[in-house]
Amino acid sequence: DRYARELELLARGDVVQAKNLQDSAVSEESVEMDEDGSVDKPASPSDRGNKTWTSIQLKEAHSIFSKLMKKRVNKCANCGMKNPPIKCQIYGWLTIQGTDGSAVRRKAITDYNLEGDRHISNPNGTGVSGLTDDRVKASSNQTKDLSDDRPLLTTEVESILKDLWEKEARFCMLLCDFQQNLCVSEKRRGYEMFFLKSMLVPPNRFRPSTSSSLGIMEHPQNVMLSKVQEANLALQHDSAHPNHMDVLTRWRDLQTSVNLFYDSSKGLGKSGKDGHGVRQLVDKKTGIVRQKIMGKRVNHSCRTVISPDPFLAVNEIGIPPAAALKLTYPE
């Protein structure tokens, strides 16, 4: 709630009060404003169009987000269970590690007690007769699953983020739309920005095939797009079969193919990293067009006009962004 109040004050332009929110008097005043509804009231389209954002507001908002992301919570605040560690060995593919034996047994006992209390409080039931051997066997199987490492599927991650958006709607709406440009319905679906369900394919004229003495050579993006299509078809074919491991393997291959299309540096081997993804094309364009002064690529040096340069006038000095940001100050 404190982070949400700080972001709401920053969105209104009250940077000083957001900085001094740790004071108890300011915190109580913020709570009263929340109850009145003046803070959570959505801005009208005319207000959003006339709203100007300063670099100080954006800098403070980024500091709040980074401060929140750096916090490491070992236990769940609702159930008190230990959060299992999550690793990302492949970009976009998460693996949840198994918990230790004591935590697994504690969770099994808690679930067993909750199940027993539910059947005891049931007026139509017969006491504790609901605690059958089937439920004990199911609890033991669930305990075994928790102790093993398993992949955290995309559908599970999407379900978790959807529940988070419903539980912490106030903060999550500020997280996905701090500048208040989206409507309420779009904010409630803000978790969808973390998932890619359809790919934008550039037209054929931007990825033409080339002819040489060896034959016709396909554009690198055509090769990557064909791999994505093949991985998607293989996943659809294996989804009809009950083999769970084959589906996971095809799913991981599809994730890797999509990663290589957008950023070839996310490849596992040297062969995958040698390609040219979308990010590599943008970086190349940035270096050729935007980081050249007087025909030379300069990232951290300033140059005056001592020879013809089409980008500079005779009374101008070329300053790269890295140097310009250090010479200027926030408004």
Give the three-class secondary structure for 306: coil
Output 25 or 32, whichever has higher pLDDT: 32
Given pLDDT bands bounded at 50, 70 and 90, which one contains residue 17? confident
Look over the chain and give the mean of its residue pLDDT values, rounded to a whole number. Answer: 72
pTM of the entire structure? 0.64
Integer CA distances (angstroms), 85 to 73, 75, 80, in order: 11, 11, 15
Cβ atoms 222, 181 nearer than 8 A: no
Cβ atoms 187, 168 nearer than 8 A: no
Please give the pLDDT value at position 231. Answer: 92
DSSP run (H or E) holding 155 = helix 154-167
Q: Which residues neighbour 161 within 8 Å (Cβ) at sequence distance 6 or greater? A: 191, 194
Give backbone dihedrals phi and psi of 315, rounded to 5 degrees, phi first: -110, 20
Q: 182-212, pLDDT tens digit by residue?
A: 777 777 788 888 888 888 888 888 888 888 8
Sign of CA dihedral 59, 60, 61, 65: positive
Q: Which residues neighbour 27 within 8 Å (Cβ) at sequence distance 6 or greater? A: 2, 5, 21
Integer CA distances (angstroms), 173 to 105, 148, 166, 186, in order: 37, 35, 10, 9
What residues does each domain of the chain span?
A: 2-71+156-194, 86-152, 204-278, 291-331
Query: What is the C-alpha separation between 298 and 311, in angstroms, rounded?
Result: 14
For residues 236-253, one letter each, b for 16 or more C-beta atoms within 10 angstroms of the residue's C-beta and e for the rest, the string is eebeeeeeeeebbebbbb
In the chain, what percentage of residues exceed pLDDT 70? 62
Report, in angstroms and rounded to the nearest whole number, the Rg of the chain calculated over CA atoms: 28
Give the three-class secondary structure for 96: strand
Place of tokens 């958006």: 165
Which of 32-41, 43-52, 239-248 holds the top average pLDDT?
239-248
Token pair for residue 312? 């500079």
Integer CA distances (angstroms), 193 to 146, 179, 182, 190, in order: 29, 16, 13, 6
Q: Which residues neighbour 174 within 8 Å (Cβ) at sequence distance 6 or greater? A: 4, 7, 8, 11
In the chain, what percentage of residues exceed pLDDT 90? 3
Query: What is the C-alpha separation between 167 and 190, in angstroms, rounded?
Result: 13
Output 302 or 227, whichever has higher pLDDT: 227
Average pLDDT over residues 130-142: 50
Place of tokens 């995309």: 154
